[in-house]
A and B are shown apart, each in its own frame.
Chain A
Amino acid sequence: DVVMTQSPLSLPVTLGQPASISCRSSQSLLDSDGSTFLSWFQQRPGQSPRRLIYKVSNRDSGVPDRFSGSGSGTDFTLNISRVEAEDVGVYYCRQGTHWPWTFGQGTRLEIK
Chain B
Amino acid sequence: EVQLVESGGGLVQPGGSLRLSCAASGFSFSNYWMSWARQAPGKGLEWVANIRQDGSEEQYVDSMRGRFTISRDNPKNSLYLQMNSLRVDDTAVYYCVTTSRGHSHDYWGQGTLVTVSS
Interface residues of A (CB under 8 A from B): 35, 37, 39, 41, 43, 48-51, 54-55, 58-61, 92, 94, 96, 99-106
The 26 sampled A-B contact pairs (Cβ below 8 Å) are A35-B101, A35-B102, A37-B102, A39-B101, A48-B95, A48-B109, A49-B37, A49-B108, A50-B108, A51-B99, A51-B106, A54-B100, A55-B101, A58-B104, A60-B104, A60-B106, A92-B45, A99-B59, A100-B47, A100-B59, A103-B44, A103-B45, A103-B47, A105-B44, A106-B44, A106-B45
- Cβ-defined contact, A54 with B104, below 8 A: yes
Q: How many residues of B sit at the interface, in one of the four size bands?
A: 20 to 34
| A-B CB pair tally, cutoff 8 Å | 54
Q: Are A49 and B99 in contact (CB under 8 A)?
A: no
Complex Cα gap A59–B47 (Å): 21
Contact of B73 with A by CB under 8 A: no
